[in-house]
């Protein structure tokens, strides 16, 4: 096997292969996560509508606190930074709130935030 | 089945049950996502070290642009907002950069950002 550089792409083929392998794996994981998030938002939409229909308070800070604690513990087990896991959940919940605000704006069932 | 309110928790038991079911599902999805993200960061750490070891440029804007396009398309198929999918990837990549900066700071292989 030759390692001679070809033009701009002067990378050892074995290294390039290893990089491609890792990137393929990263792409697979990203696809899985995107599909899981689609599923998650479908569930939170259902929660939003359920709460609106039954006049339950849209936000539930106690539920949110429990979610954060649980995710931090899971992250620790998985050797993921617990602070990042918390940041991640906050990021997702912000999107859930955005969805529910949109439901409220477009009439729908007249609900507001949350559905966590 | 009685629907009589009990104290502060004046929710129809059937509604409470449905809410609990949806939340359990959301919690399961979150656990799956946390584990996938742990796996993803393990891969990007490997990419970071590989690039550092072989003196490859840490950032790869072309790769990042392809990732964004791909995730947007996947999101559309999954009925997830493509703009959110892009925001999500940007959020994750920011964390990857933070990791690689830490590798650089702590000596390691003396690399900087990316590994996307």
How far is B36 from B30, CA to CA, in rounded Å? 10
Token pair 């990378």 is found at A11
Please count the other Cβ atoms lying within 10 Å of the Cβ belonging to residue A116. 22
**Please, are residues B46 and A77 in contact by the beta-carbon 8 Å criterion?**
no
Phi/psi at B6 (nearest 5 deg)? -120, 105
Task: Mark B63-97 as b/e (b = at least 16 C-beta within 10 Å).
Answer: eeeebbebbbebbeebebbbebbbebbeebbebbb
The pLDDT tens digits for B11-54 are 899 999 999 999 999 999 999 999 999 999 999 999 989 988 88
How far is B34 from A76, CA to CA, in rounded Å? 10
- List of residues 6+ apart from A113 with CB closer than 8 A: A58, A59, A96, A97, A100, A101
Residue with the bigger pLDDT between A92 and B97: it is: A92
Give the pLDDT score at B101. Answer: 74
How far is A101 from B63, CA to CA, in rounded Å? 34
Smallest Cα–Cα separation from A23: which of B59, B67, B61, B72? B67
ipTM computed for the complex? 0.83
Looking at every residue in chain A, the average pLDDT score rounds to 84
Question: Which domains can be identified in chain B, with CATH numbers?
Answer: 13-105 (1.20.59.10)
How far is A92 from B24, CA to CA, in rounded Å? 17
Token pair 């070809």 is found at A6
Contact list, B116 vs chain A (CB under 8 Å): 26
Contact B29 A47 (CB under 8 A): no
Contact B39 A56 (CB under 8 A): no
Give the pLDDT score at B104. Answer: 63
Smallest Cα–Cα separation from A45: which of A88, A1, A106, A103? A103
Contact list, B68 vs chain A (CB under 8 Å): none
Name the pLDDT band for A112 (thresholds 50, 70, 90): very low
The pLDDT tens digits for A64-95 are 999 999 999 999 999 999 999 999 999 999 89
Among the residues of B1-116, which ranges form H helices? 13-53, 61-77, 82-105
Residue B110 is classified by DSSP as -
A5 pLDDT above the threshold of 60 = no
Contact B26 A47 (CB under 8 A): yes
Nearest residue, CB atoms, A11 vs list B25, B35, B56: B56
A43 pLDDT above the threshold of 80 = yes
| Inter-CA distances, B108 with A51, A115, B45, B52, B57, Å | 51, 43, 12, 9, 16
SS3 content of chain A, % helix, strand, coil (to 5): 70, 0, 30
Give the mean model confidence (pLDDT) for residues A44-49: 92
Give the mean model confidence (pLDDT) for residues A14-20: 95
How far is B82 from B88, CA to CA, in rounded Å? 10
How far is B108 from B23, CA to CA, in rounded Å? 42
Give the mean model confidence (pLDDT) for residues A3-9: 45
Contact B43 A34 (CB under 8 A): no
The helix/strand/coil state of A2 is coil
The pLDDT tens digits for B70-95 are 999 999 999 999 999 999 999 999 89
Identify the weakest region by mean pLDDT among A61-65, B15-19, B104-108.
Answer: B104-108
Give the mean model confidence (pLDDT) for residues A28-43: 97
Residue with the bigger pLDDT between A23 and B6: it is: A23
Give the pLDDT score at B3. Answer: 43
**Chain centre to alpha carbon of residue A34:** 7
């Amino acid at each position: 096997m030759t390692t001679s550089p070809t033009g701009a792409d002067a990378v050892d083929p074995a290294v390039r292969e290893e990089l491609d392998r890792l990137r393929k794996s990263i792409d697979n994981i990203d696809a899985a996560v995107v599909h899981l998030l689609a599923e998650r938002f479908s569930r939170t939409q259902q929660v939003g509508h359920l709460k609106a229909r039954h006049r339950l308070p849209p936000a539930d800070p106690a539920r949110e606190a429990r979610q954060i604690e649980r995710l931090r513990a899971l992250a620790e087990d998985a050797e993921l930074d617990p602070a990042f896991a918390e940041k991640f959940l906050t990021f997702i919940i912000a999107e859930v709130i955005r969805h529910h605000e949109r439901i409220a704006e477009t009439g729908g069932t007249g609900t507001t935030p949350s559905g966590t």
